[in-house]
Structure 1
Amino acid sequence: MTDLRPKTRRRLDKQAILEAAFELFAEEGESGFSIRKLAASVGVDPMTVLHHFRSKDELLRAIADHAVRGVEIPRATESWQNDLKAVANTFRSLAHRYPRVFHLHFRYHATGPADHVASEIVYCAMRRAGLPDDRAAGLGLAFYAFVLGFALAEAEGLLRPINDADEAELDALDADAYKSTRALIPALKGLDPDLAFSASMDAFIAGVANFSDRTSS
């Protein structure tokens, strides 16, 4: 049973508390995380945590941004296509590295300073692709929805080759009503997440380029 009594009181700055919060969240996940448990783990009163972070939600947002700082954020290049791929790979790497933290990135429009660095690259890429600002904003957010969704699905086990039980279930489907599903069983058995992600990014980028051509003509 976890001892939630504070350890010996000591002074900690905001960064030290954030680092401890991140480690606890990454290990326990959201269900095992609380302000009280964090305070006990670092030997301070819960009010000390709330002195630095006005609410649990503010702390969770900071934890998510701390995760982004833990991976290498790419620099913009001359290719908007490559820039989108680089940011996508960064967030996929983030999901692989911190699977219990990653879902927090769906909760906030932006998690903070580190996230804004990546977003600037994405929005610049959309504008350099020739999109008007309203489309650049919408497709920029759609890019994040796609990338975060793919990475989370992968972290949860969806983007994996099907197992024997999955195959048996699909093979038992009506051959006429589920012709394409059954035809894809061999491909689903040999599914390569890296290739699926690369192909998905190529399709997204091709869609942006095609949309830009249509809006400029």
Structure 2
Amino acid sequence: MTARRETLTRERVLDAALNLVDTQGWAKLSMRRLAAMVGVEAMSLYNHVRNKRDLLDGMAARVFEQIELPDPELPWPQRVRALCHHANICFSAYPAVVGALAAGQANPRSPGALRFIDALLGALLDAGLDERAAVRHYRSLLAMLFGSVLARTGDIADATGAPDEPITDWFCRTVTAEQLPNLHRTLPALIDVDCRPDFDHTIDMFLAGLQATAGESASGPHSTGQR
């Protein structure tokens, strides 16, 4: 008996694209390779994605859709922390997609992806921020999330400079205590692959500042996280 072929859906196409980029990089992403992964002809993909940009937007949306949302009844600081924690996990699993998001090459265009954005904005509004301040803080948090992922995956300890000299060797040869004293002092930590950004500490500082400027001055339902 012939095995029944799995029905091709937009979600299956997007998940296959995420897997392809994760394992082989952006350079290997093509409609032909993607079609081969899902067992169809390349033209069949266009029944589910309109073009390359739609594919990239869909991949970004799939990443956002995986972010776990906290209980909306929790106090706003706990919601912000939980949302950032889960977003960091999901973004860290797909650093290539985060790079595309940060560069403006993809946007998470799906109702499911918007739920994360709505939840984070809701928590910031409950902190006592007005609409414009909430948007500014949301964008700051998103930049922190993207930056944390990109810093872990694109540090100088991992990069390569000239073909005949690793970038870490170039730094060690070029950075001197006389000309660049602060960089020279911190260079061993900078090139240490284990010295990565402490994301939880960054969120702690963000929340402390937000509570000092907005949360402490808020009153009524905003200060308790209730709507």
Q: TM-score, normalised by structure 1?
A: 0.74
| TM-superposed deviation, 1:191 | 6.3
Q: What residue is the counterpart of 1:102 in the other structure?
A: 98
**CA separation in 1, counterparts of 2:41 and 2:189?**
55
Are residue 126 (structure 1) and residue 130 (structure 2) matched? no
Match of residue 30, structure 1, among 10, 26, 30: 26
| TM-superposed deviation, 1:45 | 2.8
Number of residue pairs matched?
Answer: 204
Q: What is the one-letter code of the residue matched to 1:100?
A: A
Q: What residue is the counterpart of 2:45 in the other structure?
A: 49
Q: 1:141 to 1:193 in 2, by over 3 A?
A: same
Q: What residue is the counterpart of 1:6 in the other structure?
A: none
Q: What residue is the counterpart of 2:136 in the other structure?
A: 138
Q: What residue is the counterpart of 2:115 in the other structure?
A: 117
**CA separation in 2, counterparts of 1:31 and 1:215?**
50
Are residue 172 (structure 1) and residue 176 (structure 2) matched? yes
Identity fraction in percent: 23
**CA separation in 2, counterparts of 1:149 and 1:169?**
27
Q: What is the one-letter code of the residue matched to 1:132?
A: D
**CA separation in 2, counterparts of 1:91 and 1:129?**
20
**CA separation in 2, counterparts of 1:52 and 1:36?**
14
| Contact kept? 1:68, 1:115, Cα under 8 Å | yes
| TM-superposed deviation, 1:132 | 0.7
Aligned CA RMSD, in angstroms, stands at 3.5
Q: 1:68 to 1:159 in 2, by over 3 A?
A: farther
**CA separation in 2, counterparts of 1:181 and 1:32?**
37
| Contact kept? 1:84, 1:122, Cα under 8 Å | yes
1:103-152 CA-partner distances (Å, limit 9, x unpaired): 23333453423321211221011111111111111211121011111122
| TM-superposed deviation, 1:185 | 5.3
| TM-superposed deviation, 1:180 | 4.1
Are residue 193 (structure 1) and residue 187 (structure 2) matched? no
| Contact kept? 1:65, 1:112, Cα under 8 Å | yes
Gapped regions of structure 1 (runs ≥ 5): 1-8
Q: What residue is the counterpart of 1:150 in the other structure?
A: 148
SS in 2 for 1:100: helix
| Contact kept? 1:27, 1:100, Cα under 8 Å | no
| TM-superposed deviation, 1:33 | 0.2
Moved over 6 A (4+): 213-216
**CA separation in 2, counterparts of 1:214 and 1:81?**
12
Q: TM-score, normalised by structure 2?
A: 0.71
SS in 2 for 1:101: helix
Q: What is the one-letter code of the residue matched to 1:127?
A: L
